[in-house]
């Protein structure tokens, strides 16, 4: 599974459109993840996880920044995300199955907010992009 030129162009174009709202959508994706996949909350016992939580919002912004970094380095995702991979593997020790839950909720969030853009081809490109990000994030494990 490779990110084709078309996939990259699609993801870059959508990210440009999201502009400064990436943080809002990443936060919503996190909220959706906590509600739909409650086991993910076990990584955040120190957070207020109620809707509107400032901590979740701050974390959403962190996730957004990482995704924006990924979009800027589509040619070398493992390299760009290696520090984050180390963090998640060795310090946070997050089971990688959880990355898929967040990735799915990101797709749901984007489908909900950008229906005109979320055609089957964009859905496929985004899914592939997120799979590559997840792969890069999991690369330091084990």
Partner 1 sequence: MVHFTAEEKAAVVSLWARVNVELVGGEVLGRLLVVYPWTQRFFDSFGNLSSESAIMGNPKVKAHGKKVLTSFGNAVKHMDDLKDTFAKLSELHCDKLHVDPENFKLLGNVLVCVLAHHFGKEFTPQVQAAYQKVVAGVANALAHKYH
* Burial class, 17, CB count within 10 angstroms (exposed 0-12 / middle 13-18 / buried 19+): exposed
Interface with partner 1, residue 109, by CB under 8 A = yes
Q: How far is 33 from 106, CA to CA, in rounded Å?
A: 9
Nearer to partner 1, 72 or 124 (CB): 124
Contact 114, 24 (CB under 8 A): no
Site string for partner 1, 12-51 (x = CB under 8 A): ----------------x--xx--xxx-------------x
Which stretches of 3-137 are assigned E, i.e. beta strand? none
Contact positions vs partner 1 (CB under 8 A)? 28, 31-32, 35-37, 51, 104-105, 107-109, 111-113, 115, 118, 120-121, 123-124, 127
């Amino acid at each position: 599974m490779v990110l084709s030129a078309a996939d990259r162009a699609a993801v870059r174009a959508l990210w440009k459109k999201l502009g400064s709202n990436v943080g809002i959508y990443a936060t919503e994706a996190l909220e959706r993840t906590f509600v739909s996949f409650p086991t993910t909350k076990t990584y955040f016992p120190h957070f207020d996880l109620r809707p509107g939580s400032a901590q979740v919002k701050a974390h959403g912004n962190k996730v957004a920044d990482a995704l924006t970094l990924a979009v800027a380095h589509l040619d070398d995702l493992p390299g760009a995300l290696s520090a984050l991979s180390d963090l998640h593997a060795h310090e946070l020790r997050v089971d990688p199955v959880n990355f898929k839950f967040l990735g799915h909720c990101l797709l749901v969030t984007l489908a909900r907010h950008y229906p005109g853009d979320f055609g089957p081809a964009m859905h496929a490109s985004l899914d592939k992009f997120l799979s590559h990000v997840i792969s890069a994030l999991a690369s330091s494990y084990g």
